Amino acid sequence: MYIAAIKLLYFGVKLLKAHGAIYIGFALAKQVQVRPVNDHYFLVRHVMVCISKTNTRISYRIMMWQSYIKGFKSYLQLEKSQSENTVEAYLRDVIKLVNYLQSMGLNLNVDEIKLGHLEGFVKAINELGFDAQSQSRIISGLRAFYKYLLIEDVVQNNPTELLASPKQARKLPDTLSVEEINLLINSIDLSTPEGMRNRAMLEVLYSCGLRVSELVNLRISNLFLDLEVVKVIGKGDKERFVPIGSQAAKYIKLYREGVRVHVDIQKGEEDILFLNRRGKRLSRVYVFLVIKECAAAIGLQKVISPHTFRHSFATHLIEGGADLRAVQEMLGHASITTTEIYTHLDRDFLRSTIMQYHPRYK
Residues 18 and 138 in one domain: yes
Domain of residue 260, CATH code: 1.10.443.10
Return the amino acid letter for 59.
S
The confidence score (pLDDT) of residue 107 equals 87
Q: Which residues pair with 275 in a beta bridge?
A: 281
CA–CA separation, 331 and 238 (whole Å) = 12
The confidence score (pLDDT) of residue 100 equals 93
In a domain, 278, yes or no: yes
The confidence score (pLDDT) of residue 352 equals 64
In a domain, 190, yes or no: yes
Residues 197 and 323 in one domain: yes
Residues 194 and 252 in one domain: yes
pLDDT tens by residue, the chain, 362 residues: 444 444 444 444 443 333 333 343 444 443 333 333 344 444 444 444 444 444 555 566 778 899 999 999 999 998 888 888 889 999 999 999 999 998 998 889 999 999 999 999 999 999 998 988 899 999 999 999 999 999 999 999 999 999 988 876 666 667 899 999 999 999 999 999 999 999 999 999 999 999 999 999 999 999 999 999 999 998 878 899 999 999 999 999 999 999 999 999 999 999 999 999 999 999 999 999 999 999 999 999 998 999 999 999 988 988 888 888 888 888 888 777 777 777 665 555 556 666 666 665 55
CA–CA separation, 72 and 152 (whole Å) = 10
What DSSP string describes 124-155? HHHHTT--HHHHHHHHHHHHHHHHHHHHTTS-
Residues 199 and 329 in one domain: yes
Residues 218 and 88 in one domain: no
State which residues form the domain around 198. Answer: 178-351
Catalytic site positions? 211, 235, 307, 310, 333, 342
User: In the β-sheet with 239-243, what is the strand arrangement from edge to edge?
Assistant: 223-224, 229-233, 239-243
The confidence score (pLDDT) of residue 4 equals 43
Residues 216 and 283 in one domain: yes
CB 110 within 8 A of CB 68: yes
- Tell which of 151, 168, 188 closes a domain: 151
Q: Structurally, how many domains does the chain consist of?
A: 2
Q: State pTM to two decimals.
A: 0.61
